[in-house]
Amino acid sequence: MLQHSNTFDIRFSQAQVDQFAALSGDSNPLHLDAEYAATTTFKRPIMHGILGAALFSKAMGMDFPGPGTVYLSQTLQFKRPMFVDTDYSVVLTVTAHDPIKHTATLSTEINDKATGKVCTSGEAMVMNLAVL
C-alpha cells in the first residue's frame, strides 16, 4: 500500500548550482552571473528549473515509492524562480494508483517555505520494478 504523501525540505548553495551548470553544460548567465542577473527582472541569479525537478526524481527514487522506481513521465510548470540559500519544501502526493500495472500518478510541487508560494508544480507518472 502506497503512503499518500511525502514532504521534505531542501536548500541549494551556489556551489551546487555551479556544479549542475558544469554537469549539464547549461552556463546561462542567469544562473551564474550576479552582475548579469542584476540587470534582469529577477535581480539575482536564479536556479536551473531542472535542478529543482531533480528533487522529484530523488523523492521517488529514494523514498516514495523508493528504489526500483522507474520514471514514466513528468510535467513541469516553472511558476516562480528558485534562489540559492533559500528554504523550499518538496511535496509529492499520490493522486492515482494502479496496483495491477504497479504505476502511480503523483502531483509534484516545490514551495517557498517562507512565503508558501508554489515555485514549481507538475505531475509525475512512475512504475515500481521492486514490486513487479
- Least distance in angstroms from the C-beta of 114 to a copy of itself: 22
> Cell match 517557498: residue?
112
Residue 112 within binding range of a copy of itself, rule CB under 8 A: no
- Least distance in angstroms from the C-beta of 116 to a copy of itself: 22
Backbone angles phi, psi at 17, to 5 degrees: -65, -40
**Only segment of 62-70, 96-104, 106-114 that touches a copy of itself (CB under 8 A):** 62-70
Alpha-carbon distance of 98 to 16, in angstroms, equals 36
DSSP state of 131: G
CB burial readout 93-115, b (16+ within 10 A) else e? ebeeeeeeebebbbebbbbbeee
- Please identify which residue in 2, 14, 26, 97 interacts with a copy of itself, judged by CB under 8 A: 26
Per CB under 8 A, contacts with a copy of itself among 67-106 are 67-78
Task: Please give the residue ranges that form the binding site for a copy of itself (CB under 8 A).
Answer: 16, 19-20, 23-31, 36, 40-41, 48-51, 53-58, 61-62, 67-78, 129
